[in-house]
Structure 1
Amino acid sequence: MLSYYFKLAWLSLRKTPLLSVLMVGTIALGIAAAMVTYTVSYMMTKDPLPAKSDRIFTVQLSSWGPQQPYKVVDGREEIPAMISYRDAQNLKTAAKARQETAIGLFKSMSRAEQQNRRDAQMRMVRTTHNDFFAMFDVPFLYGSAWSEQDDSAGNQVVVITKALNDELFDGVNSVGHHIVLGESLLQIVGVMDDWFPIPRFYYLSSQAYHDPHDLFVPLQYQINQEIFSRSDVTWACWQDIEDVAFSDFITSDCIWLFYWVELESAKDRADYMDFINAYVDEQKSAGRFARENLSRLFTIDEYLRWADVVSNENDMAVWLAFAFLLACLLNCMSLMMTKFYGKGSEIGLRRAVGASRQDIGWQFLCEAFLIGILGGVLGLLFAQLGLQLIQQIFTYLNDTIMQMDLRIMLMTLLLSVVASVLFGLWPIYRATRIQPSSQLKSL
């Protein structure tokens, strides 16, 4: 019997093509606007490291000097997100966490060893410890992270991304090959597989939706080579460091490194915080850290919210998009009312030959279902076009932000069908209340 109702519903849609197109198009536009906004918001605010996000923390220290201008939030002093190399070394040497890494940056000309000098390109280079790769679940296509010995000695080794490996080595296993970085020759020890944590939480919040940098080298290599691009990276000092030697810079209180730790479990947070507080007290006794101790540990989610990467504006945009969907559904309901009432004579005739109100209701319910399915499919197409347009406009954003996964696609179709049926219930109810006698008189 249900197949018969769907047959009647399909014939009804074909009899009024303009009205049917308007209903389907109205739902499709509302669904597309809502799901484009939801997809972007979901991808921008999802957990970038779900397997261990409750065990990964960034360390922030109250390291400002007495004369450093500072921001006040809610009546309290705000502390910097980064720490100095001196503090990073002290924390790393203490080894109180399961894994820990400092994260820095510099810029340099780079090329494959076999390329000509004129083919070299300026690239940003990520500097870190080898724990970085295990901490953040970085997958490897070839090779692995550099060794502990490479880490401590700052050997000339490098891990590159799959994208750079495809560009320079045509995608083949390049482990053992070399890359020229500035005037140094670095051996490739690992090639990362596709890895796009969104948001990119481990460094500056302003780069949260950019692709990872193509080159990763030991932090100690940067120190050994005395490389620091002051004009290309974010850093701050509370004392005057103009024209100071690099050795003086890295032993100063200038902040330029992010520091992340992985603890054995979330409950170890309090113990590590006690260690941080003891470290701050120790530095105060040594004449450093002149301000109030506001040091803290942030989980990934807490850091993203503190840095306004995840904000209420995303939620507001989604609510506005769904408000537009609601307006579209109300318009569609009005069109359904018009259509179903326009079939009053047909309803009267069917009732006269024995069809019940339930039969009429099921027929129109199937029609609303078909409108929802067609609107959902068309809405998916519109949503894909909308995401591609956003991707063309915001080219600096990672492509994965603009991709709907299977779950979102299925949710789009389900939302379209459920919305169409729900907003069709009132027109269906009104149609089933039409008296056959009043309609038969007009035949």
Structure 2
Amino acid sequence: MITYYTKLAFLSLWKTRYMSLLAVIVIAVGISATMTTYTINHMMTKDPLPSKSDSVFLVRLNNWSPEAAYRNRNEENPPIYMSVQDAVNLINHDKAQAHIPVAGFKDMLKLPEQSAVDAKMTFVRSSTTDFFSSFEVPFLYGSSWPKSSDDSGEQVVVISKKLNAELFDGQNSVGRVVQLGEHQYTVVGVLNDWFILPRFYGESMRAFKAPRDIFIPFQTQLNLELWSSNVQAFECWKDPENASVKALWASECVWVFFWVQLNSDLEKQEYMDFLQSYVEQQKALGRFQRPTLNKLQSPTEYLKERRAFSTDSEIAVWLSVCFFALCLLNAMSIIMTKFQGKAGEVALRRAVGASSVDLVHQYTIETGAIGLFGGILGLVLTQVCLFLSSQLYTHLSKDIMTMSGELMVSTVLLSILSSLVFGMFPIIKAINVQPATQLKSL
């Protein structure tokens, strides 16, 4: 019987094709507006590292001025950065499963055989090999540098897929050499496409931008005294002893993000105990003169505190949902008009023995088909809108404007379900036609 009802439903759609098409378009426009805004909001506010959201933490220590509190919304809060000496000390104590300092600088990049005029300014991210394993970074060629490179500050690099295409035409460049400023580095790995969003591990202002194209060991940056004050955010409550980079490294200036991986509540508690002991030792040396406010902050907590995403996107989603509801009401009106035009046909079918259940089955399939076509067309329009958004907001990562397979399926299912819900009233009204009254008009 389902095949028969389906046949009747599609015959009805064809007979009323213009009204059916109008209903499909109205639903598609509503679906497109809703899913475009929802996709962008979902990508901007989702958990960036769901598999490790409860095991990766930003370490925050209250190494700040003894005269003035470091305040955030009128409450004292430890800085989001730490000093070089604290980052190095925490790495050397080796109390976590992974230690991930995050810093950076900029320098001129080229191949050794290229002339200076071919060099281009490139932003560099420095960290440890734990960065790639803890943050689940995929590799196209090679891998991260070994732990020994972190210890010695070896001149090695990991480059992005994009930079590899620019410098080496997309070929396997492991073992090749690039030049950053005055120094040469050996490529040990090439990143594959990496879709972690928001990018929580650095500055919140870069949460929705593409990752850096080149990575080097943190210790290498320290050894070579690579520093760019106009790139790396930093704060100093006490000036370094002199203007040298070494003095900056030894100062109380904070500029290094420091993440750790702790795989259980027990490890987390033990690390907090270690931080308490460490701060007490530093206090005995005359450092950390403010109240002890050690904190381990999850990626989501960090992003929320730094207001990496605005509530405007959530408001836009709700507005689009309201618009979708209006579209569905219009579609319901169109479907009702369509069914009313078939009142005589309904009366005739009822007169020859068709039950109300038979008519409900037929019109439910017909309404569901309208929702299906509306969902498919809405999905196409959503992809167009996301593409146009990616072209308009070029400062944001294009990964934000990407629908997952789950969202695509949900788009079509939402359209079908919404059409069935809003189509119930027209269906009920259609099957309540009095056969005797309508048969007289035939």
TM-score for the superposition, normalised by structure 1: 0.95
The question of whether the paired residues in 1 share the 8 Å contact of 2:110 and 2:178 is answered with: yes
SS in 1 for 2:216: strand
Match of residue 340 from structure 2: 341
Q: Is the 8 A contact 1:101 1:129 kept in 2?
A: yes
Q: Residue 168 of structure 2 aligns with which residue?
A: 169
Q: Whole-Å Cα distance in 2 between the matches of residues 62 and 127 of structure 1? A: 23
Q: Which residue of 1 aligns with 2:126?
A: 127
Shift of the alpha carbon at 1:38? 1.8
Partner residue, 2:41: 41
* Partner residue, 2:360: 361
Worse-matched range after superposition: 110-119 or 206-215: 110-119
Q: CA RMSD in A?
A: 1.8
Quote the Cα distance in structure 1 between the aligned partners of 2:319 and 2:278.
47
Evaluate the alpha carbon distance shift between residue 69 and residue 273 of structure 1 in structure 2; reply closer, same or farther with a 3 A threshold: closer
Give 3-state SS (helix, strand or coil) of 2:290's partner: coil
User: Residues 197 and 207 of structure 2 are in contact (CA less than 8 Å); yes or no, is this contact kept in structure 1?
Assistant: yes
* Greater CA drift, 225-234 or 317-326: 317-326
Residues 1:182 and 2:181 aligned together? yes
In the TM superposition, 1:32-431 aligns within 5 A as: 32-68=32-68, 70-73=70-73, 75-241=74-240, 244-309=243-308, 312-431=311-430
Do the aligned partners of 2:109 and 2:180 also contact (CA within 8 Å) in 1? yes
Q: Residues of 2 paired with 1:148 and 1:362: CA distance? A: 66
Deviation at 1:155, TM superposition (A): 2.0
2:9 is equivalent to residue 12 of structure 1: no
Indicate if the aligned counterparts of 1:196 and 1:212 stay in contact, CA closer than 8 A: no
Q: What one-letter code is carried by the residue in structure 2 that aligns with 1:345? A: G
Q: Calculate the TM-score normalised by the size of structure 2.
A: 0.95
How far does the alpha carbon of each residue in 1:180-200 deviate from its partner, in whole angstroms, 9 at most, with x for none?
100111111222222231111
Name the stretch that deviates more: 143-152 or 225-234: 143-152
* Alignment-mate amino acid for residue 224 of structure 1: N
CA distance in 2, matches of 1:13, 1:191: 54
Residue 299 to residue 267, structure 1, CA distance change in 2 (3 Å): farther
Alpha-carbon separation, structure 1, partners of 2:432 and 2:275: 73
Bigger mean CA offset, 335-344 vs 379-388: 335-344
- Kindly, what percent of the aligned residue pairs are identical? 47
Q: Any idea what the Cα deviations from partners look like across 1:303-337, whole Å, max 9, x if unmatched?
A: 22222235654443333222221121112112212
Deviation at residue 226 of structure 1 after TM alignment: 1.7
Question: 1:23: which partner in 2?
Answer: 23
Q: Deviations over 1:263-314 (max 9, x none)?
A: 2324321211111122222222222222222220012222222222356544
State the alpha-carbon separation in 1 of the partners of residues 163 and 328 from structure 2.
47
Q: Give the gaps of 5 or more residues in structure 2.
A: none
Partner deviation per Cα, 1:17-66 (whole Å, 9 max, x = no partner): 33212211111011111111221222222332232221111101111112
Instruction: Report the Cα distance in structure 1 between the residues aligned to 2:41 and 2:277, rounded to whole angstroms.
Output: 40
Using the alignment, how far apart are the partners of 1:411 and 1:39 within structure 2? 11
Shift of 1:139: 2.3
Structure 1 gaps of 5+ residues are: none
Q: Distance in 2 between matches of 1:219 and 1:438?
A: 85
Q: Which residue identity lines up with residue 415 of structure 2 in the other structure?
A: S
- Provide the rounded CA distance (Å) in 1 between the counterparts of 2:288 and 2:264: 29
Letter in 1 for 2:4: Y
CA distances 1:356-378 after superposition (whole Å, capped 9, x unpaired): 22222222111101101110111
Q: Distance in 2 between matches of 1:5 and 1:423?
A: 20
Inter-partner Cα distance in structure 2 for 1:325 and 1:386: 16
Deviations 1:215-274 (A, max 9, x none): 111122222222211112211111234962212111111111100111232432121111
Contact 2:38/2:317, CA 8 A, preserved across alignment: yes
Distance in 2, matches of 1:313 and 1:198, equals: 18
Distance of 1:369 and 1:312 partners within structure 2: 34
AA at the equivalent of 2:22: L
Please state whether the residue corresponding to 1:256 is helix, strand or coil. coil
Q: Structure 1 residue runs of 4+, over 6 Å off?
A: none
One-letter code aligned to 2:17? P
Distance (Å, rounded) in 2 between the aligned partners of 1:118 and 1:171? 22
Shift of 1:438: 1.2
Q: Which amino acid aligns with 1:24?
A: V
Q: Distance in 2 between matches of 1:372 and 1:11?
A: 16
